[in-house]
Structure 1
Amino acid sequence: MSNAGLLLLLSAGLWAAWLLITRRLSTAAEKTRLFWDDALIDAIRRPVSWLIWLWPAAFSLGIVIDNTSDYSSAFLISIRHLMLIWTFTWVLLRLITNAENAICLTAKDATSINVVSKVLRLVVLVVGGLALMQNLGLSLSGVLTFGGVGGLIVGMAAKDLLANFFGAIMIYFDKPFKLGDWIRSPDREIEGVVEKIGFRMTVIRTFDKRPLYIPNSVFSSIVVENPSRMLNRRIKQTVGLRYQDAAVISHVVDDIKAMLSVHPDIDTRQTLIVSFDNYGPSSLDILIYTFTKTTGWVEYKAIQQAVMLEVVKIVHRHGADFAFPTTTIRMANTPQSQRGHEPGQSAQLTA
């Protein structure tokens, strides 16, 4: 029993020394520009701390069993092997997570980093699981054979899950959108910002802050629009002038076009149209069609407002005004309406 207590005391000393070493390593790593040293030190700190306590504890348990009972402590050899495999797997998983978080801070394509890290975690878990099973005495060939038959059965039973998995793979490689993109679907009532792309579903936050959980298989059968990748935003307005302003309409068109051509927020490399477009029921319609340099919604609305206010100034500068719906009614002469009218005339009312 004294040996067991000595091992536990040794564990405490090793643990204290390990804490001191990792703190100094962390301090030194913070002074470097590399992120791998910080990621590695943080990854090994906790798993090794647990191993420092559990490994001697397993030896101590073996000593106690051998000295106090007739049972064999040989099974603890397998447990110690499992501890090593578990610690190594845990370190790799933490290292992958730390590296992912560090790279995503500076990477332009966080979605690709996310999928690579998930694949690496899956590989580590599979290899670690196989190593654990082998140390437990299971035949890997039998496990792989059972996995092939079981995979067929599971695949038939979980076809929707597999469809979502392959849908995630399609999203990762085709990249119709990535984290942070604003997307919408004309086929479904889907619109919002992509928050998470998982192996089973994608989470979208709508503009009224509700989360949408969409199975990845849906994206293989719907049209997805990605407004985040637009190059410009369009201003398309129809301005209606009164029919009595027909004499100045060409001057109004020319001045609006000149104003847009020198506007600092209008992209003149894109299509720019200002033209007399239509004879409306109550107005002469001018089409304004142009694009802003910005794609930001708030900034775009401010530019659109400034442009439309300039249009108002141009129209009024030429003595013209905007039309509004009017109706002209011609009434046939009646005995009550004939006063003040010659025979055969009609009364006219404009509203």
Structure 2
Amino acid sequence: MLEKMVQWPWLQQAQQALEAHPGAYSVVVLALLLLAAWLANYVTRRILLRGLKRMLRMLPAEQGGGRRDLKVIPRLANVVPAVVIAAGIVLVPGLPPGLVHFIAGACQAWVVLTVALAASHALDLFNAIYERRPDARDKPIKGYLQVVKIVVFVLAGLSIVATLAGVKLLHLLTGLGAATAVLMLIFQDTILSLVASVQISGDGRVRIGDWIEMPSQNADGDVIDIALHTITVQNWDKTITTFPTRKLVTESFKNWRGMQESGGRRIKRPLLLDQHSVGFLDDDALARLERFGLLDDYLAGKREELAQWNAQVAQAHPEEVNARRMTNLGTFRAYVERYLRSHPGINQGMTLMVRQLAPTPQGLPLELYCFTASVAWVQYEAVQADVFDHLLAILPEFGLRVFQQSSDAMLMALRERAAS
């Protein structure tokens, strides 16, 4: 089209009229070239790309009320004027051959860069569409798309260098063979991160939304992004921690997804009892404990068991010291177990036990091991507090005391009382 424009009669007449001014005709042709580039860009943006934009808005990523900025459209529109200028610059008379070659090469380089940027935005749009799928959290593809972006930009950069240097891309790639070791060193983190991303996506060890705990990276919270090079975690204090993806392969971490999917969150906490308060139950104490409905079956079964045992032992050793008797600690342990089995906030389908641990200088630990029916943090803490509130309050009914390290407050109170 540009060659036909140069052959137009009025343009030839203008060339003859401007023979006295050698550079004027070149300016006229250059202005016509820029006008043609502008018209091509206008037609592309107003007609062709507007229709393409309407088609892209019909994709799932654009439905649901949220309009996504389709950056691919304006990027592609910049290709057309560059192509027009690259094809028509050779028709402008009077320009030095070196300048013509440079402008044509710069336009080709611009086209390559524009296509690469458009491809990058297209990959972002594809990732946005993919993330709307229900299984996107389990199989994220963001890391793979970032690898594709790197390949696209590397090829685009090599193509631009080859175009501006006036050599073929294949020759440039052949010359880079000697620099492979250097490139491997430069992209070492990228290669390691790519391998880690493949492993993470393959075995599903970490997914978006998982609660992970990684003390070495100061990460303790929900995973909000899985990229090629980095994992982003929002900690419980709302700070953001970012660490390399390969750390999930080379270092240990804890994923709480199993707890969240199991339907129960563990309570594993001891009551520290004063060992001096442990003793046998006499008739009065047993009469008091018969008021507890949760202990009906326990007390009845225990009495029968002890009666049979003591009847056999009494024949040979009638002394009371040889008889078995119920203790307040054993009865309290039975009460705690039955209380947990009747609590609506405790998951009855998972492990539940009340066990006695080895004595310590801080007292005798009576540990509760069970799981709440809700894994939510707030509900978990509420159930746990409710259980221990009740047990601490009911403990004196069994003649037991909680161990608590004493301070000098009692001594000071005694001294003040004595002084008064």
Please report the TM-score for the alignment, with normalisation by the length of structure 2.
0.61
SS at match of 1:303: helix
Letter in 2 for 1:88: V
1:304 Cα shift?
0.9
Corresponding position of 1:322:
401
Give the aligned partner of residue 93 of structure 2. 67
Question: Which residue pairs with 1:302 in the alignment?
Answer: 382
Partner of 2:156: 128
1:94 to 108, 121, 130: 121
Please state whether the residue corresponding to 1:235 is helix, strand or coil: strand
Q: Compare 110-119 and 32-41 and name the one that shifted more.
A: 32-41
The offset of 1:294, in angstroms, is 3.1
- Contact 1:235–1:290 (CA<8 Å) still a contact in 2? yes
| TM-aligned CA distance change 1:12 to 1:84, over 3 Å | closer
1:49 aligns with 2:84: no
SS, match of residue 343 in structure 2? coil
Q: Is the 8 A contact 1:256 1:314 kept in 2?
A: no
C-alpha separation in 2, matches of 1:154 and 1:44 = 30
Cα distance between partner residues in 2 of 1:88 and 1:298: 51
Q: Could you say which residue in structure 2 is the equivalent of 1:272?
A: 352
Unaligned runs of 5+ in 2: 1-26, 282-326, 407-420
Partner of 2:278: 243
C-alpha distance after superposition, 1:196-230 (max 9, x if no partner): 54544544454455554544554444322222442
Counterpart position of 1:234: 266
* TM-score normalised per structure 1: 0.70
Supply the distance in 1 between the matched residues of 2:171 and 2:120 (Cα, whole angstroms): 27
CA offsets 1:16-66 (integer angstroms, 9 cap, x no match): 444444456545654x46338999992541113222443444456555xx3
The structure-2 alpha-carbon separation of the partners of 1:79 and 1:196, relative to structure 1 and needing over 3 Å to count, comes to same
Measure how far apart 1:96 and its partner are: 0.3
CA deviations 1:297-317 (Å, max 9, x no partner) are: 33321221122223345546x
Partners of 1:209 and 1:124 lie apart in 2 by 36
CA RMSD of aligned residues (A): 4.1
Give the greater-gyration-radius structure (CA). 2
Specify the SS of the correspondent of 1:112.
Answer: coil
Counterpart code for 2:403:
F
The code of the aligned residue for 1:46 comes to P
Once residues 205 and 82 of structure 1 are traced to their aligned partners in structure 2, the CA distance between those partners, rounded to angstroms, is 41
- Report the number of matched residues: 322
Mean CA deviation greater in 293-302 or 13-22? 13-22
Match of 2:297 in 1: none
Is the CA contact 1:39–1:98 (under 8 Å) kept in the aligned structure 2?
no
In proportion to residue count, which structure has more helix? 2
Q: Please name the residue that 1:144 is paired with.
A: 173
The answer as to whether partners of 1:47 and 1:91 remain within 8 angstroms in 2 is yes
Q: Distance in 1 between matches of 2:404 and 2:67?
A: 69
Residue identity over aligned pairs, in percent, reads: 19
Tell me how far apart the structure 2 counterparts of residues 6 and 306 of structure 1 sit (CA, whole Å). Answer: 84
Corresponding position of 1:181: 210
Give 5+ residue unaligned stretches, structure 1.
Answer: 328-351
User: Which residue number in structure 1 is paired with residue 184 of structure 2?
Assistant: 155
User: Contact between 1:243 and 1:282, CA under 8 Å: does it hold in 2?
Assistant: no
* Change in CA separation of 1:276 and 1:89 when aligned onto 2, cut-off 3 Å: closer
Report if aligned partners of 1:115, 1:172 keep a CA contact under 8 Å in 2.
no
SS at match of 1:67: coil
